[in-house]
Structure 1
């Protein structure tokens, strides 16, 4: 907590989130109450094929990315997402990204690189999502929770950027990750990573 917090109380404790009502000292010295959703943080990962030596034998030379189309009650239906999930206590973001990649998409990655960390909605939550790109993929085993309904799709990276532009992909972490991956590919010479 920062020095801005005067005091507060936890008004809700849930499985994934907690809600606090804090009295906060603002930069001008005044004090007010704010509701804050506390979240343990998360990791998201774009898994690429066709990156690096030997990773796309006989392929078209176009980078492919794995997305999930997942049912989200709050979004009122299925949405496109990169594999992602919340950090377990003491878990490093890289480990979380690799775990979620296998659990959701059935893939293991030989290499992973951090792209950025983003604050999802800093107006009311402290959630930070750590974004990664992974490659040197091999088959693993999915392990979906009972409340997870998703299909795994392998799409050209170029197509996913078109889907962002067309409003077909609306999930913020996915838009950020795909945009950063596109820039990462440019900086790293495409397949020559």
Structure 2
């Protein structure tokens, strides 16, 4: 047994997520209140070219005070599969279609207080398309050698968790010849 939810109160319902407070009975008999972010989930993708370069974005993130390096990603729309979301976001954010998609896995970026799951894919066989940024997206697309992106992680230039996870998930597959 883990915990049993005794009650739930919605504290905030936002555009992307909700904040709830759940009363939880733990298996040791203690009851606690937990504040939890309820998120619809997301998809992220590692877009690789035939030259083993990576299409990355440098995106403004107000919450962290500036621009950061990221792989393209976006929130799942209702009734949308993770792969459909990944395909949509690839075109919207970087202006590319992909011929081949590989599911790399799922990550839970902050399991201590959120139920968000990010589905991570590798997009290959890229072809140009028309970029369709959302009105609140400020980003720039950069083509970077895959090995250089890994060095950027080592140097601390890439700090985004989904990006680091996606890069190393892709590296494991590439090193083993699975893609």
Whether the TM-score (by the shorter chain) exceeds 0.5 is yes
1:96 aligned to 2:85?
A: yes
Match of 1:49 in 2: 49
Provide the TM-score with structure 2 as the length reference: 0.96
Match of 1:63 in 2: 52
Aligned-residue offset at 1:77: 0.3
Match of 2:147 in 1: 158
1:31 aligned to 2:31?
A: yes
Q: Displaced runs of 4+ in structure 1, greater than 6 A? A: none
Aligned-residue offset at 1:27: 2.3
What count of residue pairs does the alignment treat as equivalent? 178
Aligned-residue offset at 1:3: 6.6
Aligned-residue offset at 1:140: 0.9
Match of 2:11 in 1: 11
Provide the TM-score with structure 1 as the length reference: 0.89
Instruction: Find the aligned partners of 1:68 and 1:49 in 2 and give their Cα distance.
Output: 15
Match of 1:80 in 2: 69
Cα deviation code 1:83-129 (max 9, x no counterpart): 00000001110111111111000000011011010101011111110
1:140 to 129, 137, 142: 129
The alignment's C-alpha RMSD in Å is 1.3
Match of 2:162 in 1: 173
Secondary structure (helix, strand or coil) at the match of 2:148 reads helix
Aligned-residue offset at 1:29: 2.5
Instruction: Find the aligned partners of 2:53 and 2:4 in 1 and give their Cα distance.
Output: 45
